[in-house]
């Protein structure tokens, strides 16, 4: 019999999550039935959505939700999945789990041995797909345009900026430290600045693109978005991807009041969830994998060692300690 370690939500988060809000438990797994298999997590993902979704979807005592991923099959009574295959699963913060195969995504057969499998959680996974569909389908970015992205050095933002460059755009990114800004310039952003140290966000955005922005890929929301919206060009498009500056608020922030710039500049603003393009996952993964292999799409991962450190990795990511995708290696 296999015993799995799992992390449960001990207490609903109030404000910023704390390690004491989580509890690690051991769970004995049942024997496999025909069609089932035992999976062992190799890498797990910590993502911003876990914070707002925990409030919406979970009760205290539940296993933490997770786009938890890249698990190795150690035993299989399901002929569709060979022992040793790697899959992307969505089974929460668990070291081991039993699955009948439903909802699992095999890594593409063209995945080279040399490429980290953890990229299936980041640049070539859900965050990369968010950038891909958000930019091409929501922003409807065109060559020659100027694209603004915030949380730019993170999992989604770093892909947004590079895809916009691949698509022939000028890209402006902002992030929360000077080393992140240096990274953005290294991977090809035309302009980048540290939003925490500029004396005026409005001036920094104007200096980076005096003519304004055609596309704004918003990962942050709140005050940043309410300032940036005023610097959109006429007919500009805003993809509302995330609002991480608001996820830990106990009291909702006031505003932004978007009506004036939206009316005067005839802007389009659209919220979206990546899973709306689940039927095009294969297309997105194939495109992202190709760009990575061609060296056009660079990646960085912030790897935290050991399953025991899942809460610390999650909290660290919310605080901005990650460069690129925050991953936990079991
Ligand atoms: N709509 C969808 O389908 C999806 C939406 N998302 C959203 O995209 C956004 C980015 O996700 P992801 O790339 O995975 O995460 P990141 O890898 O970007 O990590 C989160 C980053 O957010 C930044 N951040 C944290 N707090 C604040 C704040 N108060 N103000 C500004 N920046 C802050 C930090 O970077 P810094 O140091 O720069 O502050 C931190 O590193 C999130 O809002 C997430 O919810 C993600 C996936 C799918
Ligand atoms: C309840 C308030 C919500 C506010 C907005 C919060 C977050 C936006 C966001 O970050 C959404 C992320 C969605 C991710 C979905 C992932 C799953 O479909 C699992 C995907 C697994 C995979 O295919 O790799």
d(CA 219, CA 127): 11
SS3 245: helix
Going from the C-alpha of 15 to that of each of 68, 307, 320, the distances in angstroms are 24, 24, 16
- Percent over 90 (pLDDT), the chain: 86
Using the mean position of ligand 1's atoms as its centre, give its distance from the Cα of residue 315 in Å: 12
Q: Give the pLDDT confidence score for residue 72 in this predicted structure.
A: 63
On average, the pLDDT of the chain sits at: 95
Of 153, 143, 203, the residue nearest 325 (C-alpha): 153
Which residue in this structure is represented by tokens 């919206």? 229
**Which residue's CA is the closest to the ligand 2 atom numbered 4?**
52
What secondary structure does DSSP assign to 125-147, as a single string? SHHHHHHHHIIIIIS---TT-EE
Least confident of 85-99, 149-163, 246-260: 246-260
Ligand whose nearest atom lies closest to the CA of 193: 1
Q: Is 104 in the pocket of ligand 2 (CB under 6 A)?
A: no
How many whole angstroms separate alpha carbon 281 and alpha carbon 107?
12
pLDDT value at residue 217: 99
What's the gap in Å between 49 CA and the centre of ligand 2? 5
What CA–CA distances, in Å, run from 297 to 70, 162, 237?
21, 6, 24
CA of 247 to the centre of ligand 2 (A): 13
Going by alpha carbons, the residue nearest to atom 23 of ligand 2 is 126
State the Rg of the chain over Cα.
20
The pairing of beta strand 86-88 with beta strand 105-106: antiparallel
Q: pLDDT at residue 256 above 90? A: no
CB 141 within 8 A of CB 172: no
Q: Which atom of ligand 2 is nearest to the CA of 243?
A: 5
Report CA(49)–ligand 1 centroid distance (Å).
9
> Quick check: 6 and 93 in contact, CB under 8 A?
yes
> Dihedral of the CA atoms 88, 94, 99, 103 (nearest 10)?
-40
**48-55: long-range contacts, CB 8 A cutoff, minimum separation 24:** 48/242, 48/244, 48/247, 48/317, 48/318, 49/242, 50/314, 51/13, 51/17, 51/247, 51/248, 51/318, 52/247, 54/9, 54/12, 54/13, 55/12, 55/13
With bands split at pLDDT 50, 70 and 90, how would you rate the model's confidence at 70?
Answer: low
Question: What ipTM was assigned to the predicted interfaces of this complex?
Answer: 0.98
- Widest CA span of the chain, in angstroms? 65
Ligand 1 centroid to 58 CA: how many Å?
Answer: 21
| Cα of 274 from ligand 2 centre, angstroms | 7
Angle between helices 155-166 and 178-186 (to 10 degrees): 30
Phi, psi of 205 (to 5 degrees): -70, -40
Q: What is the pLDDT of residues 215-246, one digit of tens each?
A: 999 999 999 999 999 999 999 999 999 999 99
> Could you give the C-alpha distances from 271 to 86, 95, 242, in angstroms and in order?
32, 33, 8
Distances (CA, A) of 133 to 127, 172, 239: 10, 19, 10
pLDDT, tens digit, 9 for 90 and up, residues 293-304: 999 999 999 999
Q: In which residue are the tokens 């207490």 written?
A: 11
Q: Is the CB of 157 within 6 Å of ligand 1?
A: yes
**What is the tens place of the pLDDT at every residue in 257-288?**
899 999 999 999 999 999 999 999 999 999 99
pTM: 0.97
Atom 2 of ligand 2, residue of closest alpha carbon: 52
What is the number of the ligand closest to the CA of 127? 1
Task: Assess whether the C-beta atom of 52 lies below 6 angstroms from ligand 1.
Answer: no
Q: Which residue has the higher pLDDT, 237 or 256?
A: 237
Tokens of 137: 């389908």
């Amino acid at each position: 019999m296999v015993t799995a370690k799992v992390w449960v939500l001990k207490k609903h988060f109030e404000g910023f999550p704390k390690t004491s809000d989580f509890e690690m438990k051991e769970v004995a797994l049942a024997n496999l039935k025909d069609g089932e298999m035992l999976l062992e997590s190799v890498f797990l993902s910590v993502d911003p959505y876990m914070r707002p979704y925990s409030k919406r979807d979970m009760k205290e005592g539940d296993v933490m939700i997770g786009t938890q991923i890249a698990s190795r099959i150690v035993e299989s009574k399901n002929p569709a999945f060979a022992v040793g295959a790697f899959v992307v699963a969505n089974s929460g913060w668990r070291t081991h789990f039993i699955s009948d195969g439903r909802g699992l995504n095999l890594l593409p057969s063209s995945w080279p041995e040399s490429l980290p499998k953890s990229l299936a959680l980041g640049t070539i996974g859900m965050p990369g797909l968010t950038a891909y569909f958000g930019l091409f389908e929501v922003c409807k970015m065109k060559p020659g345009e100027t694209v603004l992205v915030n949380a730019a050095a993170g999992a989604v933002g770093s892909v947004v900026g590079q895809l916009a460059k691949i698509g022939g755009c000028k890209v402006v990114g902002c992030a929360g430290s000077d080393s992140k800004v240096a990274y953005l310039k290294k991977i090809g952003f035309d302009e980048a600045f540290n939003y925490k140290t500029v004396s005026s966000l409005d001036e920094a955005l104007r200096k980076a693109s005096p003519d304004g922005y055609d596309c704004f890929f918003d990962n942050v929301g709140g005050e940043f978005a309410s300032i940036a919206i005023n610097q959109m060009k006429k007919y500009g498009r805003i993809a509302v991807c995330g609002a991480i500056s608001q996820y830990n608020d106990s009291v909702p922030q006031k505003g932004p009041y978007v009506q004036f710039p939206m009316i005067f500049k005839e802007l389009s603003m659209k919220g979206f969830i990546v899973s709306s393009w689940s039927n095009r996952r294969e297309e997105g993964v194939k495109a992202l994998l190709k760009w990575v292999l061609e060296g056009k799409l660079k990646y960085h991962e912030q790897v935290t060692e050991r399953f025991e450190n899942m809460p610390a990795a999650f909290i660290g990511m919310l605080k901005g300690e990650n460069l690129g995708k925050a991953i936990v290696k079991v």
